[in-house]
């Protein structure tokens, strides 16, 4: 395996790189670092999809190609941002990376319509008995309607006050992404999911609702509007009650 001389490492500075499958010419992993970071992958022992690919190539007496995609970057944040953009461009399905890049979900690849809706979102006052449900951790910009419903409806640590809520608003980064009518509440993991593993939703003491997209007069009142003011900075709970 090639070495990186110290004077070359200094000139490279912070860089973004890709490990390339020599059989296809396509990247299978994207990363960022400085010094000999890119070479460290070949001495890793922890199992991962990336490690499996390197071992598979070695079995065929092949080595991954190493492409430097950008270098001499001014700081680590710049490397993070470029790494995230490249991962988004290729997509996780074509890479062995486990997650999208740094802050990619907030500032990375998204449809222009979603970017406009996000930055142009006007504040709205919630006048209905509702739950505002932050779905930041599981949200994706290419999320399907079924996936969004299923990450919004459960599973939450709530008391009996939940019964007073008529609607649930799916909130990402302070903006309402969908509005649901709540039909009924059930113990977590007791109703079917089609996009979530039941092992992730079976949680004693937590709850999930079943429902449907709210009627247009209600949905239009809140969809793509900002409810950020309802979430206090540092608040731990992902759920906020309004008018309940």
* Domains of the chain (ranges, CATH numbers): 6-107 (3.40.1440.10), 113-242 (no CATH)
User: Quick one: tokens of 38?
Assistant: 């890119």
**How far is it, in rounded angstroms, from Cα 62 to Cα 92?**
23
**How far is it, in rounded angstroms, from Cα 85 to Cα 74?**
17
**How far is it, in rounded angstroms, from Cα 93 to Cα 71?**
25
The pLDDT score that the predictor gives to residue 187 is 96
pTM: 0.68
| 112 touches 151 (CB < 8 A) | no
**How far is it, in rounded angstroms, from Cα 68 to Cα 16?**
6
The pLDDT score that the predictor gives to residue 238 is 92
The pLDDT score that the predictor gives to residue 106 is 67
The pLDDT score that the predictor gives to residue 240 is 96
**How far is it, in rounded angstroms, from Cα 96 to Cα 57?**
14
The pLDDT score that the predictor gives to residue 163 is 96
The pLDDT score that the predictor gives to residue 51 is 94
Among the residues of 67-110, which ranges form H helices? Answer: 76-90, 104-107
The pLDDT score that the predictor gives to residue 120 is 83
* Residue 11: CA count within 13 A, CB half-sphere: 6
Give the tens place of pLDDT for each residue, 199-235: 889 999 999 999 999 999 999 999 999 999 999 877 7
What parts of the chain have a pLDDT lower than 70?
1, 103-106
| 19 touches 50 (CB < 8 A) | yes
């Amino acid at each position: 395996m090639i070495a990186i001389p110290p004077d070359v490492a200094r000139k490279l500075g912070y860089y973004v790189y890709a490990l390339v499958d020599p059989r296809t010419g396509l990247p299978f992993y994207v990363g960022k670092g400085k010094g000999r970071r890119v070479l460290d992958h070949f001495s890793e022992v922890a199992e991962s999809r990336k490690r499996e690919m390197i071992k598979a190539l070695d079995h065929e007496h092949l080595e991954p190609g190493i492409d430097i995609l950008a270098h001499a970057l001014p700081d680590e944040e710049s490397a993070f941002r470029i790494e995230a953009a490249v991962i988004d461009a290729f997509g996780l399905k074509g890479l062995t990376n486990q997650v999208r890049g740094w802050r990619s979900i907030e500032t990375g690849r998204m449809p222009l319509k979603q970017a406009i809706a996000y930055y142009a979102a006007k504040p709205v006052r919630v006048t209905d008995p509702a739950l505002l449900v932050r779905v930041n951790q599981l949200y994706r910009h290419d999320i399907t309607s079924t996936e969004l419903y299923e990450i919004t409806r459960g599973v939450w640590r709530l008391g009996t006050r939940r019964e007073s809520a008529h609607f649930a608003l799916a909130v990402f980064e302070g903006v309402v992404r969908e509005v649901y009518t709540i039909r009924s509440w059930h113990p977590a993991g007791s109703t079917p999911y089609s996009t979530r593993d039941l092992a992730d939703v079976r949680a004693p003491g937590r709850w999930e609702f079943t429902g449907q997209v709210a009627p247009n007069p209600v949905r239009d009142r809140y969809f793509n509007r900002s409810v950020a003011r309802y979430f206090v900075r540092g608040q731990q709970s992902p759920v906020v009650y309004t008018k309940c």
